[in-house]
Amino acid sequence: MSLDWGYTDDNGPSTWAEKYPLAAGARQSPVDIDTSKATSDNSLVDREIDWSYPSNCSYRIVNTGYGWRVDTYGDDTALSGGPLSEVYKLEQFHCHWGATNDEGSEHTVDGKSYAAELHLVHWNSEKYSSFKEAASQPDGLAVLGVFMEIGNADNAELEKIISLIPKIIHKGQDSQASFDLDFGSLLPESKHYWTYLGSLTTPPCNECVIWTVFKEPITISERQLEVFRSLKSVGEEDAIEPEEGKLVKNYRPPLPLGNRVLRECGP
């Protein structure tokens, strides 16, 4: 059974609201970050955003049909501070990319796209008893967005993930992912970021996310990005031409910020 939504002309973002009405809401993500609209907020400086991830918290990588996703044990993880009033636990992380390097990120900055965007998805385990419950609450999830730009060298930490992609080429395939991951290398050195209230960027597009998008990108090599693009959105049993079903892009274009506040921490 193929997904009833995706990123092709006939099931892409412009069609999602037909089956997922939340996608037409006023608190949707991603957005274009208009830097002239960002307001500084001392409370963000007073409570520095802080995270802690044990290097062995990943346990599985899966092809969801719309990308790869690494599932994590959240028990010993923690994200707090910044725009967050409670401690959030890491649930999973994944990535969005495009067919060419001049597109691919979901958030854009003054109209500029990056080649890809990494999302670390956390849930409010202080207030809610499960990820599923949290995903139905306005402060349920906290997602860290990290822009990725093309660099000459491979990203060594990303390579640990990329080396598993050939095992999950088709939708539904998964593999054990018990690598030791230095999350510090998947996050930028600078803790400067923008933050706003938004949603999941895939159906059902629940408006449950406190977004933190870092200003500084990390790098990924062209070769590594090509491996992402080799994933397929269809199962092994779906008889299609070899070039069909390739997941060359899986990003949602920006939605209007509307009257939401866009705050920033750091220049």
Ligand X SMILES: Cc1ccn(O)c(=O)c1
Identity of the residue, 80 or 201, whose beta carbon is nearer to Zn ion in the bound complex? 201
Binding at 84: pick from ligand X, Zn ion, none (beta carbon under 5-8 Å per type): none
Q: How far is the CB of 78 from Zn ion (least distance, A)?
A: 20
Instruction: Compute the C-alpha angle 76/181/112, nearest 5°.
Output: 105
Positions that interact with ligand X (CB under 6 A): 119, 121, 143, 200-202
CB atoms within 10 A of CB 127: 15
List alpha helices for the chain, DSSP H. 16-19, 42-46, 131-134, 156-162, 222-229
Nearest to residue 201, comparing CAs of 125, 94, 110? Answer: 94
- Report whether the peptide linkage leading into residue 30 is cis, meaning its omega lies within 30 degrees of zero: yes
Q: Does 89 bind Zn ion (CB under 5 A)?
A: no
Instruction: Compute the C-alpha angle 68/74/77, nearest 5°.
Output: 110
CB 51 within 8 A of CB 75: no
| Interface pick for Zn ion out of 119, 171, 232, 249 (rule CB under 5 A) | 119
Q: How far is the CB of 225 from Zn ion (least distance, A)?
A: 16
Identity of the residue, 30 or 245, whose beta carbon is nearer to ligand X in the bound complex? 30
Q: How far is the CB of 141 from Zn ion (least distance, A)?
A: 11
Q: How far is the CB of 212 from ligand X (least distance, A)?
A: 12
Identity of the residue, 132 or 167, whose beta carbon is nearer to ligand X in the bound complex? 132
Contact set for Zn ion, span 195-214 (CB under 5 A)? 201
Provide the terminal-to-terminal Cα distance of the chain, rounded to the nearest Å.
47
Structure-token pair, residue 248: 């060359």
Distance between CA atoms of 216 and 214, rounded to whole angstroms? 6
Identity of the residue, 29 or 80, whose beta carbon is nearer to ligand X in the bound complex? 29
Q: How far is the CB of 184 from Zn ion (least distance, A)?
A: 21
Identity of the residue, 143 or 234, whose beta carbon is nearer to ligand X in the bound complex? 143
Binding at 200: pick from ligand X, Zn ion, none (beta carbon under 5-8 Å per type): ligand X
Binding at 144: pick from Zn ion, ligand X, none (beta carbon under 5-8 Å per type): none
Which amino acid, one-letter code, is at 122?
H
Which amino acid, one-letter code, is at 54?
P
What residues line the site for Zn ion (CB under 5 A)? 119, 201
